[in-house]
């Protein structure tokens, strides 16, 4: 018997009906008219079965077990079923198929401030929200001072929360939830809100819960936080479990899954290769300048992109242009060598040639990057390779100062600053 299992899911599935939700209509009139349409349609194609392609499985055949004290990160793209899974385990919505059980007191934190009412004071909201999250009145009373301390809002505890700053509101709301003391905690993207200090506090609290040998299921897009907090990760893809295991490998696998990483391509002289106009590609690769393996490039690591190609024509100058795209297919920049970089001003020699582009550290943001390559001869494109290289730039936790959200922006340069200089 699996004595220490506290969450058990077996074949969980959740089906939603697209467009027209399951026989739901905003008004009776809609229901009547759509009902009439259905009747007409049914009459027209008599005996024909209704198409079922307007349903979607948000979750499909999900089975896993969580043991007491485990902290499991649930990762996956938008719409992969992460939130649906949490909603089913929190009993907010029912599964369509399968079954699950949880053992012990469950606390679910699907948003910060569940049940808060703007007109009520901080004190009143602590009680209300506590009760809604499943605390008994006596428990709330016993922990009230602790909650207020944690939120750091003593002075405003009898002020309606609508007069709170958003930071105060979040702190109080999280403080209530943090003192829920569940044996199993389901958390969904709580870190998506709030400032750095607040996020640090939230993460710290989740870490505390884990240390107290309680069980946490933590849904997040934030891979840095998942890797920092969770020993185990569950990767959902299109509603199914794509991978389940130690957090590091699962996260790596998830990152690869986006569009496959290619840090090196080689073409043998005899094999067909991208080419034209007397130029043939032989090799492209990405390489960290410090010798680190190319799948461990961090935002700080300088690296190089190398391109080798055969040149058969002695006339004209070859130039390699690189276009950098981020994972959202945004063109970050398009670079080519400046004129003075050419080794031979009189034109490119024949034979096997190499062009190296040096990318400084602290330029690209973290995430998957695709490099498209174009070789031009005297401004005429002769070779194109749209996904010559695909590589990941990884975030580094060091300089985050407790802030774990995705760093915004297409690039992430480190610039020179002169700060706080007294001005006469």
- CA-wise closest residue to 321 among 263, 386, 375: 375
Evaluate whether 181 touches 137 at the Cβ level (below 8 Å).
no
Output the CA torsion sign for 212, 218, 222, 227: positive
Class of residue 86 by CB neighbours under 10 A (exposed 0-12, middle 13-18, buried 19+)? buried
Nearest approach in angstroms of CB 73 to another protein is 21
Indicate whether 24 belongs to the interface with another protein (CB under 8 A). yes
Q: Which of 157, 227, 268, 247 is nearest to 396 (CA)?
A: 227
Q: Confirm or reject binding of residue 67 to another protein (CB under 8 A).
A: no
3-class DSSP assignment, residue 28: helix
Choose the binding region for another protein from 40-48, 125-133, 248-256, 277-285 (rule: CB under 8 A): 125-133
**Least distance to another protein, CB of residue 23, Å:** 8
- CB of 103: closest distance to another protein in angstroms? 5
- The sign one gets for the Cα dihedral 186, 192, 193, 194 is positive
Residue 215 in the binding site for another protein (CB under 8 A):
no
Question: How many other CB atoms are found less than 10 A from the CB of residue 344?
Answer: 10
- The yes or no reply on residue 365 touching another protein (CB under 8 A) is no
x/- binding map, residues 68-87, to another protein, per CB under 8 A?
x------------------x
| Count of Cβ atoms closer than 10 Å to residue 416 Cβ | 4
Judged by CB under 8 A, which stretch of 24-32, 316-324, 330-338, 371-379 contacts another protein?
24-32
Instruction: List binders of another protein among 194-213 (CB under 8 A).
Output: 213
Of the pair 35, 249, the CB lying nearest another protein is at 35
155 contacts another protein (rule: CB under 8 A): no
CB 129 within 8 A of CB 116: yes
The least CB distance from residue 173 to another protein, in Å, is 12
Nearest distance, CB of residue 122 and another protein, angstroms: 14
180: contact with another protein by CB under 8 A: no
**Sole binder of another protein in the list 1, 2, 22, 417 (CB under 8 A):** 22
Residue the block writes with tokens 């080519």:
336
Contact 118, 168 (CB under 8 A): no
The footprint of another protein (CB under 8 A) covers 3-4, 6, 16, 21-29, 31, 68, 87-106, 108, 110-111, 114-115, 117, 119-120, 124, 127-128, 131-134, 136-137, 160, 183, 213
């Amino acid at each position: 018997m699996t004595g220490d299992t506290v969450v058990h899911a077996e074949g969980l599935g959740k089906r939603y009906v697209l467009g027209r939700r399951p026989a739901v209509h905003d008004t009776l009139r809609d229901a009547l008219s759509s009902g009439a349409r259905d009747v007409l349609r049914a009459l027209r194609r008599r005996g024909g079965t209704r198409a079922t392609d307007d349903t979607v499985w948000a979750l499909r055949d999900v089975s896993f077990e969580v043991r007491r004290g485990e902290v499991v990160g649930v990762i996956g793209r938008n719409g992969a079923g992460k939130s649906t899974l949490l909603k089913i385990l929190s009993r907010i919505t029912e599964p369509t198929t399968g079954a699950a059980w949880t053992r012990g007191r469950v606390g679910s934190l699907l948003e910060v401030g569940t049940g808060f009412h703007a007109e009520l004071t901080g004190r009143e909201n602590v009680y209300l929200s506590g009760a809604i999250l499943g605390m008994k009145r006596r428990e709330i009373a016993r922990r009230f001072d602790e909650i207020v301390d944690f939120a750091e809002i003593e002075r405003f505890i009898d002020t309606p929360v609508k007069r709170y700053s958003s930071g105060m509101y979040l702190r109080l709301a999280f403080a209530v939830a943090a003192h829920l003391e569940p044996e199993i905690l389901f958390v969904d993207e709580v870190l998506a809100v709030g400032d750095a200090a607040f996020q640090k506090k939230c993460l710290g609290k989740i870490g505390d819960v884990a240390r107290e040998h309680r069980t946490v299921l933590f849904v997040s897009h934030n891979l840095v936080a998942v890797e920092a907090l969770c020993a185990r990760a569950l990767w959902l893809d299109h509603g199914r479990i794509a991978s389940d295991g130690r957090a590091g490998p699962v996260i790596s696998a998830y990152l690869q899954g986006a569009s496959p990483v290619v840090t090196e391509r080689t073409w043998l002289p005899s094999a067909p290769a991208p080419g034209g106009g007397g130029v043939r590609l032989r090799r492209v690769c990405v390489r960290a300048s410090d010798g680190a393996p190319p799948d461990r490039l961090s935002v700080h690591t300088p690296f190089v992109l190398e391109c080798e190609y055969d040149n058969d024509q002695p006339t004209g100058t070859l130039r390699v242009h690189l276009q950098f795209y981020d994972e959202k297919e945004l063109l970050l920049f398009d670079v080519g060598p400046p004129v003075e970089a050419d080794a031979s001003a009189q034109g490119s020699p024949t034979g096997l040639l190499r062009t190296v582009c040096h990318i400084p550290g602290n330029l690209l943001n973290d995430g998957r990057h695709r490099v498209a390559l174009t070789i031009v001869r005297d401004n005429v494109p002769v070779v194109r390779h749209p996904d010559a290289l695909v590589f990941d730039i990884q975030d580094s936790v060091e300089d985050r100062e407790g802030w774990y959200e995705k760093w915004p922006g297409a690039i992430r340069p480190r610039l020179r600053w002169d700060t706080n200089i007294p001005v006469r």
